[in-house]
């Protein structure tokens, strides 16, 4: 068997495994509730109908495998993801948060065989024109039936490009620059689910869980889409929010009494600032937090206020999910001694730290570039180099120290933005901050920083505060206090937008 034959066999096996698992879950109790949204419940048969309807809608195009979905956080779009995976096709993620021109360009660039969008998006003329230009089969994300034919004036003629074993063609969040596409193959997805303990193999009998997971993260981001598939594989229902809102989220926590909830650092801060009564969390044994670095002070403050441990995870879109994190058991044993750690490598994942210049292994405790190896990272077992600066301690705990590709190069001096942001976090009036580099004729780049506040402070005061804590070359040349920091759909602070919108002008002197 050739290498390509072996790869193809692995892709087929993983595709079949995931499809069989999802269909097995849907057959356990089709009438049980699988999904709630805005006060309405949908049974597991809603997913099964979407699977059948997708096959019917594409009956005339048996080779149509690339399914573009404009991923609003709504039941039909969630069902479309489940149906695409359960039929062995490829999800092409399309973000509803893009402007008309941006979304149309993305549709044209990706040329999906099928375009699934709801009436809000089909009414965007640029979207319809883009779908027509690539000959996509038009499908409307409905309500009573998740997937129905969308009437158009053109005759579909999809491009029918090969999928290459891709389960999800995922767009990154674009926190540092223009978003790019990442191919998450079926074998990588299976490996990611196994590493996280999500049942996917035949040896684990399909079952349904009584308490649903609350899902608010954007389905157009890995933190939302990953869990759509994971919950379908494990048989856990979903209480879906169109976007994160503290009051709406609390209402679902009170109603469904989950044992585990997920809050990205930004959402964690919003819940902390809301000063909720402790009884909101009486059913919750732990809070998972990912998608962005978790500030230790934020985790400490949340745990002190609500009495619930926060379990950070480390991952990336390219990894098909998390590759390291905290378990509740590890938190109880090691939490106080490993404050600020992102946890330990997940099962089946190896981590190491290397010198950024020559690739030599760095000793325990020293900072360098993080490399990882595992089934969800590469198909050939090779080490994958990240752009994260990290260290590993003697007990295997991972500490993240910023991103190498974010570093601001000020005349040859490299400044990780986290150095400035961490210093500002020590000021009692600072809520959040984002440091970026802007062009400078003489130095190449200089650091600037945008700040949001929770108390009184002036820009001059904060600059003086930094002057007492940073070396001369690390100090930002400008600090702006803003009402809010721009965010991606996954609620990460977008450095790209901070740079482009808050600091429009480059430095000339």
For the residues of 62-127, what is the DSSP string, one character each?
A: TT--EEEEE--SSHHHHHHHHHHHHTT-EEEEE-TTS-HHHHHHHHHHH--SEEEE-HHHHTSHHH
Give me the pLDDT at residue 391, please: 96
pLDDT one-digit tens code per residue, 391-442: 999 999 999 987 777 788 887 677 889 889 989 999 999 999 999 999 887 7
pLDDT-derived band at 6 (thresholds 50, 70, 90) equals low
Burial 459-491 (b: 16+ CB within 10 A, else e): eeebeebbeeebeeebbbebbeebeebbbbbbb
Give me the pLDDT at residue 178, please: 52
Over 60: is that where the pLDDT of 505 sits?
A: no
Over residues 33-46, the mean pLDDT reads 97
Strands 166-171 and 478-481: unpaired
DSSP symbol at 412: T
* Beta partners for residue 314, in sequence order: 324
Over 70: is that where the pLDDT of 111 sits?
A: yes
Share of the chain above pLDDT 70, in %: 96
Assign domain 3-29+43-186 to its CATH architecture.
Answer: 3-Layer(aba) Sandwich (3.40)
Assign domain 407-502 to its CATH architecture.
Answer: 2-Layer Sandwich (3.30)
DSSP symbol at 59: T
Give me the pLDDT at residue 440, please: 84
**pLDDT greater at residue 140 or residue 504:** 140
pLDDT one-digit tens code per residue, 93-108: 998 887 888 889 899 9
pLDDT one-digit tens code per residue, 282-317: 999 999 998 777 889 899 999 999 999 999 999 888
Whole-prediction pTM = 0.82
Give the residue range(s) of CATH 3.40.50.12780 domains in the chain.
3-29+43-186
Share of the chain above pLDDT 90, in %: 71
pLDDT one-digit tens code per residue, 450-460: 999 999 999 99
Over 70: is that where the pLDDT of 2 sits?
A: no
Give the residue range(s) of CATH 3.30.300.30 domains in the chain.
407-502
pLDDT one-digit tens code per residue, 256-292: 999 999 998 888 988 999 999 999 999 999 999 987 7
Give me the pLDDT at residue 508, please: 40
Quickly list H helices, 307-384. 328-334
């Amino acid at each position: 068997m050739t290498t390509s034959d072996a790869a193809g066999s692995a892709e087929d096996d993983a595709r079949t495994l995931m499809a069989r698992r999802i269909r097995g879950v849907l057959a356990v109790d089709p009438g049980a509730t699988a999904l709630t949204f805005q006060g309405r419940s949908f049974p597991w048969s809603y997913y099964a109908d979407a699977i059948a309807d997708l096959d019917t809608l594409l009956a005339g195009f048996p080779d149509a495998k690339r399914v573009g979905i404009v991923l609003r956080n709504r039941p039909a779009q969630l069902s479309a993801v489940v149906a695409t995976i359960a039929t062995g096709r490829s999800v092409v993620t399309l973000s509803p948060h893009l402007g008309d021109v941006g979304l149309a360009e993305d549709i044209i660039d990706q040329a999906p065989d099928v375009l699934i969008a709801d009436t809000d998006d089909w009414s965007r003329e640029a979207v319809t024109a883009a779908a027509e230009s690539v000959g996509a089969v038009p499908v409307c994300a409905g309500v009573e039936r998740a997937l129905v034919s969308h009437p158009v004036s053109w005759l579909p003629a999809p491009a029918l490009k090969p999928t290459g074993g891709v389960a999800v063609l995922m767009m990154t969040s674009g926190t540092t620059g223009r978003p790019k596409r990442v191919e998450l193959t079926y074998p990588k997805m299976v490996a990611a689910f196994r590493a996280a303990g999500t049942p996917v193999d035949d040896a684990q009998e399909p079952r349904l869980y009584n308490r649903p997971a609350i899902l608010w993260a954007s389905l157009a981001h890995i933190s939302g889409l990953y869990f759509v598939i994971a919950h379908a594989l494990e048989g856990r229902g979903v209480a879906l929010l169109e976007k994160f809102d503290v009051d709406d989220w609390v209402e679902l926590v009170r109603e469904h009494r989950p044992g585990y909830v997920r809050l990205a650092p930004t959402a964690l801060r919003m819940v902390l600032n809301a000063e909720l009564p402790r009884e909101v969390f009486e059913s919750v044994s732990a809070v998972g937090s990912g998608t962005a670095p978790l500030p230790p002070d934020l985790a400490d403050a949340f745990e002190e206020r609500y009495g619930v441990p926060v379990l950070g995870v480390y991952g990336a879109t390219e990894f098909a999910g998390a590759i390291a994190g905290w378990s509740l058991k590890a938190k109880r044993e090691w939490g106080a001694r490993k404050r600020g750690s992102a946890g330990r490598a997940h099962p089946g994942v190896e981590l190491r730290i290397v010198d950024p210049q020559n690739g030599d292994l760095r000793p325990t405790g020293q900072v360098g570039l993080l490399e990882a190896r595992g089934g969800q990272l590469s198909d050939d077992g090779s080490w994958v180099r990240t752009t994260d600066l990290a260290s590993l301690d003697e007990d295997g705990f991972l500490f993240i120290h910023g991103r190498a590709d974010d570093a601001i190069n000020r005349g040859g001096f490299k400044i990780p933005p986290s150095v400035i942001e961490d210093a500002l976090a020590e000021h009692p009036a600072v809520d959040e901050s984002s440091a970026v580099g802007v062009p400078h004729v003489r130095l190449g780049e200089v650091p600037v920083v945008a700040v949001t506040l929770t108390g009184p402070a002036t820009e001059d005061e904060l600059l003086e505060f930094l002057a007492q804590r940073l070396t001369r070359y690390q100090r930002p040349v400008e600090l702006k206090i803003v009402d809010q920091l721009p965010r991606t759909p996954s609620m990460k602070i977008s450095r790209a937008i901070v740079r482009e919108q808050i600091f429009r002008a480059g430095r000339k002197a």
